[in-house]
Amino acid sequence: MSSTDTKAAKLIRKCVIPAAGLGTRFLPATKAVPKEMLPIVDTPTLQYIVEEAVKAGMEDVVVINGRGKGSIEDHFDIAFELETTMRARGKTADADRMRAIANLVRIISVRQKEPLGLGHAVLCAKSVIGDEPFGVLLGDDMIDSEDPGIGQLARIYQQHQKAVIALMEVPESETHMYGIAAGKDLGNGVIQIDHVVEKPKKGTAPSNLAVIGRYVLPPSIFPILEKQTTGVGGEIQLTDGLATLQKTEGLLGYKFQGQRYDAGDKVGYLKANIAYALKRPDLRGGLLEYLREVVKTEKP
């Protein structure tokens, strides 16, 4: 990454992390705990996502929250009693790690009173974002990459001065589970989108390029979302708002670099846990030994 690129990426200073969904696929765990607070190894999914935003130079992180708001706010706050107790027990490094989470970035909490859909969740951030382009990182979508996913998109936005969304190729059989975009390949992973549709019926997808949970959007998305009627699943869909934006101002897609995990899906969540645990020297050996044993003994 050149220094010019880094400077450009920094101009996107604010981002929104929607984390107010019901998380029904993870019930009963999500009855009292937000899905975004479920751990990948020992760290909440949301913390990885906030860290990605910070690494990309975001200064203000707007977390849209609903039920379980307390645990999200507490996690990114100073845990005074916990830290004091740990220091008294000589666990200084652990206490410092807890303080570092509180010092990560400025977190602004906005309540979405009803989970009316992702488009509505983004709209809840309107007054905090104001009149500038901003990033959106879905609170249950992880991108494991040295070069943070949202930073990659921010650079594309700066270069083209156009809204950009993360895209990933998926098997034909899975296109009905995603927002799907199609368009002209401009090279270097950039697509000029001419069509975007939320969860197309089987066999009707315009391509196999799925919309993944990272976006950099202009503030003009807000009036579009204000007028947006409900779409698939009776929810106000961000993808429908993006389809309008594509027609009025144009929309780019970017095939990002990195490994994506859908932590909002049970298999995706388990894969993320295994992948992140295998990166940990203290866990890798024991886990590999167990996985080899499972592969040997489990019947397909």
Strands 134-137 and 14-19: parallel
Length of the chain: 300
Report the residue from 9, 62, 138, 211 that binds ligand UTP according to the rule CB under 6 A: 138
Nearer to ligand UTP, 60 or 94 (CB): 60
Site for ligand UTP in 218-247 (CB under 6 A): none
Binding mask 33-52 for ligand UTP (x = CB under 6 A): --xx----------------
Cis amide bond preceding 28, omega within 30: yes
Site for ligand UTP in 59-98 (CB under 6 A): 64
Residue 174 beta carbon to ligand UTP: minimum distance, rounded to whole angstroms: 15
Instruction: Determine, following the binding rule CB under 6 A, whether residue 128 of this chain makes contact with ligand UTP.
Output: no
Residues 157-216 that bind ligand UTP (CB under 6 A): none
Mark 239-254 as b/e (b = at least 16 C-beta within 10 Å): bbbbbbbbeeeebbbb
Choice between 138 and 164, CB closer to ligand UTP? 138
Q: What residues between 3 and 32 interact with ligand UTP by CB under 6 A?
A: 18-25
108-127: contacts with ligand UTP (CB under 6 A): 112, 115-118, 120-121
Q: What is the smallest separation between the CB atom of 274 and ligand UTP, expressed in angstroms?
A: 21
Residue-wise burial string across 118-150, b where 16 or more C-beta atoms lie within 10 A, e elsewhere: bbbbbbbbbeebeeebbbbbbbbbbbbbebbbb
Span interacting with ligand UTP, options 138-146, 154-162, 200-208, 247-255, rule CB under 6 A: 138-146
**Minimum distance between the CB of residue 203 and ligand UTP, rounded to whole angstroms?**
23
* Nearest approach, Cβ of residue 66 and ligand UTP (Å): 7
Rounded Cα gap, residues 148 and 129, in angstroms: 21
Taking CB under 6 A as the criterion, which residues in 268-287 touch ligand UTP? none
Cβ proximity to ligand UTP, 22 vs 287, nearer residue: 22
Size of the site for ligand UTP (CB under 6 A): 22
Judged by beta carbon, residue 111 or residue 279, the one nearer ligand UTP is 111
Q: For ligand UTP, which residue of 140, 162, 193, 246 counts as binding (CB under 6 A)? A: 140
Binding site for ligand UTP (CB under 6 A): 18-25, 35-36, 64, 112, 115-118, 120-121, 138-140, 264
